[in-house]
């Protein structure tokens, strides 16, 4: 019997007869039928029993990827743990050093003595020092004081630099200049020192952060000696010669022959050792001179302070034009062609 499509259509009788004759089927047909039954069972089992397990497996795979990323992150963090521990020890040491610079008790009397000494050393007139009220902070207590001094601009600059370089922590704020007279300036400033807050917390992390935020910047070296006063016209002032303040020379000392010649007229040609003493051999005035440490050379009261194989060091004295004396260094290098 054929259907409308032309394909043979099995009736129930034919199917039953086919089932009864299954035992007589050839081996390939039996294998094909068994494979078909197994495929049907696998599809049914996968559809009804394994779908939930497959979804759970997918979730576990996603979690595995996340855990692998976390393991890689923790591994990199563990690799830098030793360096971080050393950095923490360094920070703790710096923190301890800073705490040692913050006195537990007020040291205002000693600070006042240091400020007075700095003012006198720089030729300033200390007009007033007014202690202001304490200002508590989370880790420390500020001790501000209002200071008024009068003097020349380079001396005021040296005074400020000296205050900022005191052994105790002192910061300078609110600088204000005004003319005391045509040649002098009046400086008003607030100097703050600090002491440790006894009731501060012991949390090292919070303390270090608070101290880092409040710590003043490191002082900057200011070469004030060779700069002009910005509060006066350049035509009305003289630029100070460069040099270090020094004690004046003994003007009654008899001058030697070599002190009548400029230092530039000498050149070092070698050294000479006699026992433990070393001499410098200098050529000048058409002859060789043997000089030791402490001998004088040149018109500016130059004294030899050190003798090396490659050069000789001298210290010269000269007036600054304002009644004081300054010292500068001079070097004579070895003439290798001599």
121 or 234, greater pLDDT: 121
108-214 placed in CATH 3.30.70.60: yes
Collapsed DSSP state (helix, strand, coil) of residue 114 = helix
Q: Which CATH architecture has domain 244-333?
A: Roll (2.30)
- Flag whether pLDDT at 238 surpasses 70: no
Detail the DSSP E strand segments found in the chain. Answer: 125-131, 135-136, 140-151, 170-181, 184-196, 244-246, 267-274, 277-284, 287-291, 303-307, 311-319, 325-333
123 or 190, greater pLDDT: 190
How is 71-101 classified by DSSP, letter by letter?
Answer: HHHHHHHHHTHHHHHHHHHHHHHHHHHHHHH
**Which of 78-82, 135-139, 149-153 tops mean pLDDT?**
149-153
Over residues 264-287, the pLDDT tens digits come to 889 899 998 888 899 999 988 788
Instruction: Calculate the average pLDDT of the chain.
Output: 76
Range name among 94-108, 112-126, 261-275, 281-295 with the lowest pLDDT average:
94-108
- Flag whether pLDDT at 142 surpasses 90: no
Other Cβ atoms closer than 10 A to 235: 5
Over residues 150-172, the pLDDT tens digits come to 888 888 888 888 887 777 778 88
Q: What is the pLDDT of residue 292?
A: 93
pLDDT band at 4 (very low <50, low <70, confident <90, very high): very low
| Nearest alpha-carbon partner for 184 in 147, 153, 225, 224 | 153
C-alpha separations of 45 from 51, 53, 173, 240, 316 in Å: 9, 12, 85, 103, 106
Q: What is the pLDDT of residue 176?
A: 87
Over residues 295-331, the pLDDT tens digits come to 999 888 899 999 999 899 999 988 876 777 888 888 8
User: What's the whole-number mean pLDDT along residues 99-112?
Assistant: 64
Phi-psi region of 183 (alpha: psi -120 to 50; beta: other; left: phi over 0): alpha
Over residues 218-236, the pLDDT tens digits come to 655 555 555 555 655 554 5
Cα 298 → chain centroid: 44
Domain-wise residue ranges, the chain = 12-48, 108-214, 244-333
| Nearest alpha-carbon partner for 114 in 104, 103, 126, 105 | 126
d(CA 313, CA 315): 7
Collapsed DSSP state (helix, strand, coil) of residue 165 = coil
Cα 325 → chain centroid: 37
Residues of the chain with pLDDT > 70, as a percent, come to: 71
């Amino acid at each position: 019997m054929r259907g409308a499509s032309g394909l043979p259509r099995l009736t129930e009788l034919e199917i039953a007869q086919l089932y009864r004759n299954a035992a007589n089927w050839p081996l390939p047909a039996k294998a094909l039928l068994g494979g078909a039954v197994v495929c049907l069972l696998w599809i049914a089992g996968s559809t009804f029993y394994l779908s939930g397990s497959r979804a759970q497996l997918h979730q576990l795979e996603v979690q595995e990827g996340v855990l692998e990323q976390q393991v890689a992150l923790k591994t990199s963090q563990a690799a830098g743990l030793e360096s971080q521990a050393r950095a923490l020890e360094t920070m703790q040491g710096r923190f301890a050093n800073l705490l040692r610079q913050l006195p537990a008790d007020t040291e205002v009397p000693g600070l006042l003595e240091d400020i007075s000494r700095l003012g006198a050393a720089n030729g300033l007139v200390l007009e007033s020092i007014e202690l202001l009220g304490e200002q508590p902070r989370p880790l420390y207590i500020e001790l501000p004081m209002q200071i008024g001094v009068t003097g020349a601009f380079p001396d005021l600059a040296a005074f400020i630099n000296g205050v900022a370089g005191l052994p105790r922590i002192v910061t300078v704020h609110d600088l204000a200049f005004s003319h005391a007279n045509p040649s002098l300036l009046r400086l008003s400033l607030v100097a703050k020192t600090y002491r440790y807050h006894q009731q501060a917390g012991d949390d090292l992390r919070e303390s270090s952060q608070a101290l880092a935020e409040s710590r003043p910047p490191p002082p900057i070296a200011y070469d004030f000696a060779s700069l002009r006063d910005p509060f006066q016209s350049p035509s009305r002032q003289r630029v100070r010669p460069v040099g270090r303040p020094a004690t004046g020379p003994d003007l009654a000392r008899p001058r030697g022959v070599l002190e009548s010649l400029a230092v530039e007229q000498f050149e070092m040609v070698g050294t000479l050792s006699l026992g433990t003493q070393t001499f410098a051999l200098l050529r000048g005035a058409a002859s060789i001179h043997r000089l030791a440490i402490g001998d004088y050379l040149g018109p500016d009261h130059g004294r030899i302070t050190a003798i090396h194989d490659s050069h000789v060091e001298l210290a010269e004295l000269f007036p600054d034009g304002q009644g004081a004396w300054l010292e500068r260094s001079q070097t004579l290098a070895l003439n290798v062609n001599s």
